[in-house]
Structure 1
Amino acid sequence: MASTEFTEAASAQSAALGFAPARVFVPHPIQDRTDAEVQALADAAVDEILGKLVD
């Protein structure tokens, strides 16, 4: 899990390593969000994250 700022970097690293990990991206930025905003991002992403774990 990472913020959308890192989609290109994740793709480049994945290609360089020859490995396609499960990835979930949440809206950027993270660091200046309130606890409630981060919780909302996590709540919105949890189903996708769990889905990647069982695929």
Structure 2
Amino acid sequence: MPSVGVATTEFIDAAAVQSKALGTDPAYVFVPHPVQDRTDDELRKMADDHLEAILALLVKKA
């Protein structure tokens, strides 16, 4: 089943290290950090801004 990890830019290096350690190449979309203090409207805009990238990775042929 296709999947895409969504994380903040704070975790780019950690995702790369973990992927290498596990021998995997998962699909990720990184969003601006931090997210916890954002308003609902800001979170909706962030989701809208990254939706196409997420969908593209979900339907990407292996």
Same fold (TM over 0.5): yes
Provide, for residues 7-55 of structure 1, a one-character-per-residue CA deviation record: whole Å limited to 9, x for no partner.
0000000000000001100000000000000110000000000000011
Gaps of 5+ in 1: none
Q: Which amino acid aligns with 1:18?
A: G
TM-score (norm: length of structure 1)? 0.98
Gaps of 5+ in 2: 1-5
Tell me whether 1:34 sits opposite 2:30 in the alignment.
no
TM-score (norm: length of structure 2)? 0.87
Kindly indicate which of the two structures has a greater share of residues assigned to strand. Answer: 2
CA distance in 2, matches of 1:14, 1:39: 28
RMSD: 0.4
Following TM superposition, the consecutive aligned residue runs of length 4 or more in structure 1 with deviations greater than 2 angstroms are: none
The percent of aligned pairs where both chains have the same amino acid is: 56
